[in-house]
Amino acid sequence: MENLNLILPEIFLSLSIFVTLLIGVFFKNSYNLVTNITYIIIISLLLIIFNTFNESGNLFSNSFITNSFTNFFKILILLGTLFVMLITQNFIKEMKINYFEYPLLLLFSILGMFFMISANDLMSFYLGLELQSLALYILAAFDRDNLKSNESGIKYFVLSALSSGLLLYGCSLLYGFTGSTNFEEINLKMEFENTGAIFAMVFVLVGLAFKVSAVPFHMWTPDVYQGSPSSVTSFFAVVPKIAGIAILIRFVQIPFEQLVDQWKNILVFMSLASMLLGAVAAIGQTNIKRLIAYSSIGHIGYVLAGISTGTINGYNSSVAYTSIYVIMNLGVFGCIFLMKKDGKYCEDIKDLAGMSKQNPLLAISFLIIMFSLAGIPPLAGFFAKFYVFISVIESGMYTLAIVGLLSTVISAFYYLRIIKIIYFDEIKNSFDSIKNLKITSTIFFSCTILVLFFLYPSVLNNIVNTLSIN
Amino acid sequence: MNFPILSSITLLPTIGALFILFSKSEENENKNAINLSLFTSVVNFFLAIFLWYSFDKSYSGFQFIEEQDWISGFIKFKFGVDGISILFIVLTAFIIPVCIISCVNSVKTRLKEFLIAILILETFMIGVFCSLDLVVFYIFFEAGLIPMFLIIGIWGGPKRVYAAFKFFLFTLLGSVLMLVAIISIYWITGTTDITQIFEIKIPVKYQYVLWLAFFSSFAVKMPMWPVHTWLPDAHVEAPTAGSVILAAILLKMAGYGFLRFSIGMFPIASEYFIPLVFTLSIIAIIYTSLVALMQEDMKKLIAYSSVAHMGFVTLGIFTFTPQGIEGSIFQMISHGLISAALFLCVGVLYDRVHSRLITSYGGIANVLPKYSLVFAVFMLGALGLPGTSGFVGEILILLGAFQKSFLVAILASIGIILGAAYMLWLYKRVIFGKLEKKELQELKDLNLSEGIVLFSLVVLVLFFGFYPNLILDTVHTSVDELIRNYEQAIVFNTSTVK
């Protein structure tokens, strides 16, 4: 009998999704009820995973794996979702997209991500990926009466389906050249020169790069971020990225372990291109969601830089970077959901002008988060970059380090521009005052971590270093 | 050593800033904030004086060392001072209260936030001079950009946005290369603790590249020609207190960085690059002095004169003679006082007339006699008149330079003549002549707070002019140690090459 405890979170999540779905269908106007149940589900999942954090093992003829690495990412995903839900409630109700399907779709996508992260087999990986993506397509187009939302949903669907196709093609090639779909067995077959498998690896990496929106597969990101309802954008910017990075690290570490020399070049290129494009393209943006899209592309570049070293230190620094990135992005979106003018949420950066006079606390939070995103010490964003570049330089990749750091200077420009608009420009028309404890506490939580991180910067590393992938 | 005095000096301003942030008084919020910040910074100044007093001048190593595990097994949070850094700590702790008193008159909006920014900046600046670990140093070095950016951007003049961006991006660009170098040093030597790096000694083949990376950062911050262009903009647009901090302390970080890091860690490369530094310094001295002659904006003139004076500092450091280096340190302290005072003087006029153009003044001596006298002292100090602190630094640097290269010393002396020219001309145009402009006739002379600030600076400038030993005694053993290590490394290197 297999130890089903290992898959308990997934089982619990699937069952509760079905029960909640039924509740949603049978009660009228059940959005609030379903949302509250979702909170409970997420919190219980967190408890379950915390309880079994260090248990590891595999299931179902080695196609499903659980260990501290997957558990860490699952916790990150759950926390990300929880905070995203907290900060978006007001927005969802005001935009009248408060249908009970909304939280359920979030749960579905989380379930997909869980399976994807824990996959140890190409088949289960692909199934998890598709479950996640399908839920996200619908979410992108969730504001049905809004043309832009529909457009972004379609765009995301078409492009993502294409990338899934490439990914699937890569998977089938891998199976063809190695004779197995299991990650570890694929790795064993790679010991001998296997050109076909390298060919397959490229396709798989392309598919994954699309999911984490690394250059040159980033085209969808700005449009989808801008078009989707802001609540969905905040989810996109945080949660699927975590899952994508997790599975990317697992891929390069298990099935492609022997192909380090080959995938290293690909990742270095993607990393360089993402950092530079993220920095340069964001300068001209006026829509804050588009700007965040480009900034997230840039940040993915730094994460990829850590992975591209191919060392344990490198992977760990990427994991640490991802965690800090999540905290910063939650803070940014928290601020965005607090800014309203004449009953409309601000999307144009110029609308932020003069915020420092009317709402000094929000302005200072924005300031902290922006400087942290720019990677200025002593904020947490600096340490994230610092760890990545330590491992990059350890591997002797000086070009990557120098270009990466120069691109932080370029990207500092647009973060500074936001601060300039908030602090230096004169106020145009006043902001609506929003009092929302959930959002303010999220922002407070994010800023406190970012500011106080320097007191004990090794806390995150100590956790990350204990994670075991195998 | 039980009481962690260095961390206290570093952290106290931030604690004061937090108090100001959370203190609420309905009526006289500004007054309350000023009192609190003044109290904090004065207490901090006395702490710094106490530190200087209890400092052992005969010991050349680091004192008051504090160590704390920080990033476990990787970086230690290490503080300590020697004869060089302690002076900068005292200077910083002195300049901040001066700024706070001066901003009472000049800062009209958001005074509370301004004081918080200044106090937090003080923490970062003192941290720079205390840290004995490269990463800790880098963090403080960079963190200072945030409050300075805000000070220029929020309280600055009409072109403040441009100036703030230029300041921030220039300095950041210079520093990122230093970060790469710091991380490389970690992988080469296995530590970022500079006392250990001094002993391990970085292999010669790496020194050149690493030196250049550090140089890129310090040259921007110093600022050396040709990357000095951010400084005039930043100075002109910054509020008076911002200019004072910028000129008096932020620029000194780079000189301190050269002394502590470039020479200490890369002696061979430092020797190799002497011609480069000399060339840039001489260009800075002569070219920016000429540029200063043609300025119409008083603040810009003083900013360019700062670049020239900093050229003397780099020149003196890279002579590697006791006179040159001690002269440089003295020049930095003296310039910290004099340029701060000059910016305050310009601030006094600006608060009254709201113009920084030289042409809008003339004949001020008739209405502002006290002010004219004070201004005269600082002006003479800036041009290096014997009896002021400016003279001691320049003469020592020239003494050092003559030992190395006659030509360089001659060229630097030309710079002194030019310095006298632009300073005297500035003084003549602003203070002397007939009082023709109507709006100047109603001006009031120095008020109490301005009087206290400027008078105390006058006393210091003259005091150090007559009794430079107070400073030179403190730095002496540390400088000797620095030069001895440098010479040992050079001798060792040439003997191994042969």
CB-CB neighbours of B227 under 10 Å: 18
Whether A29 and chain B come into contact, CB under 8 Å, resolves to no
Helix (H), strand (E) at residue A345: strand A344-345
pLDDT digits (tens, 9 = 90+) for B374-409: 999 999 999 888 888 989 999 999 999 998 888 999
d(CA B404, CA B282): 14
A400 chain-B contacts, CB cut-off 8 A: none
Could you say which of B74, B149, B183 has the minimum Cβ distance to residue A389?
B183
pTM for the whole thing?
Answer: 0.92
| A393/B180 touch (CB, cutoff 8 Å), yes or no | yes
What is the pLDDT confidence band of residue B273, given thresholds at 50, 70 and 90?
Answer: very high
| B184/A393 touch (CB, cutoff 8 Å), yes or no | yes
CB-CB neighbours of A291 under 10 Å: 24
| B179/A405 touch (CB, cutoff 8 Å), yes or no | yes
ipTM for the complex shown: 0.90
Q: Which two structure tokens, joined as six digits, stand for A171?
A: 């998977």
Q: Mutation test of the interface with chain B: which of A311, A405, A466, choosing the one with the most B Cβ atoms within 10 A?
A: A405
B70 chain-A contacts, CB cut-off 8 A: 457-458
For residue A2, what pLDDT is reported? Answer: 72
Longest dimension (CA), chain B: 76
What is the pLDDT confidence band of residue B26, given thresholds at 50, 70 and 90?
Answer: low
For residue A131, what pLDDT is reported? Answer: 93
A389 chain-B contacts, CB cut-off 8 A: 179-180, 183
pLDDT digits (tens, 9 = 90+) for B351-363: 888 888 888 888 8
Whether the predicted pLDDT of B441 surpasses 90: no
What is chain A's length? Answer: 470
CB-CB neighbours of A399 under 10 Å: 11
For residue A326, what pLDDT is reported? Answer: 93
For residue A172, what pLDDT is reported? Answer: 92
Shortest distance, CA A56 to any CA of chain B (angstroms): 27
Whether A180 and chain B come into contact, CB under 8 Å, resolves to no
pLDDT digits (tens, 9 = 90+) for A142-171: 888 888 888 999 999 999 999 999 999 999
Nearest alpha carbon to residue A316 among A366, A380, A384: A384
For residue A470, what pLDDT is reported? Answer: 58
For residue A189, what pLDDT is reported? Answer: 82
For residue B498, what pLDDT is reported? Answer: 60
For residue B495, what pLDDT is reported? Answer: 81
pLDDT per residue of chain A (470 residues) written in tens, 0 to 9: 677 888 888 999 999 999 999 998 888 888 888 999 999 999 999 999 988 888 888 888 888 888 889 999 999 999 999 999 999 988 888 888 888 888 999 999 999 999 999 998 999 999 999 999 999 999 998 888 888 888 999 999 999 999 999 999 999 998 988 888 888 888 888 877 778 888 888 999 999 999 899 988 888 999 999 988 889 999 999 999 999 999 999 998 888 888 888 889 999 999 999 999 999 999 888 888 899 999 999 999 999 999 999 888 899 999 999 999 999 999 999 988 888 887 788 888 888 887 888 888 888 898 999 999 999 988 999 999 999 999 999 888 889 999 998 999 999 999 999 888 888 888 777 777 778 888 889 999 999 999 998 888 888 888 888 876 65
Instruction: Give the A window 372-401 contacts with B, CB below 8 Å.
Output: 376-378, 382, 386, 389-390, 393-394, 398, 401
| B143/A402 touch (CB, cutoff 8 Å), yes or no | no
Computed over every residue of chain B, the mean pLDDT equals 88
Shortest distance, CA A196 to any CA of chain B (angstroms): 37
Cα-based distances in Å from A158 to A137, A150, A182, A209: 9, 12, 29, 16
Per the DSSP assignment, residues forming a β-bridge with A182 are A121
| A393/B187 touch (CB, cutoff 8 Å), yes or no | yes
Shortest distance, CA A321 to any CA of chain B (angstroms): 16
Question: What is B59-100 written as a DSSP string?
Answer: --S-EEEEEEEEETTTEEEEEEE-HHHHHHHHHHHHHHHHHH
A414: nearest CA partner in chain B: B165
pLDDT digits (tens, 9 = 90+) for A187-220: 888 877 778 888 888 999 999 999 899 988 888 9
Q: Are B4 and B66 in contact (CB under 8 A)?
A: yes
The dihedral through the CA atoms of B117, B118, B123, B126 has a sign that is positive
For residue A322, what pLDDT is reported? Answer: 93
For residue B25, what pLDDT is reported? Answer: 64
Nearest alpha carbon to residue B47 among B82, B79, B94: B94
pLDDT digits (tens, 9 = 90+) for B160-188: 889 999 999 999 988 888 999 999 999 88
B165 chain-A contacts, CB cut-off 8 A: 413, 416, 420
Whether the predicted pLDDT of B1 surpasses 60: no
* Burial class (CB within 10 angstroms; exposed 0-12, middle 13-18, buried 19+) of B477: middle
| B71/A390 touch (CB, cutoff 8 Å), yes or no | no
Shortest distance, CA A409 to any CA of chain B (angstroms): 6
Peptide bond into B223 cis (omega under 30): yes
Q: Mutation test of the interface with chain A: which of B179, B191, B192, choosing the one with the most A Cβ atoms within 10 A?
A: B179
* Burial class (CB within 10 angstroms; exposed 0-12, middle 13-18, buried 19+) of A14: middle
Q: Which two structure tokens, joined as six digits, stand for B160?
A: 């403040």
Per the DSSP assignment, residues forming a β-bridge with B445 are none
Whether the predicted pLDDT of B84 surpasses 60: yes
Could you say which of A371, A412, A458 has the minimum Cβ distance to residue B71?
A458
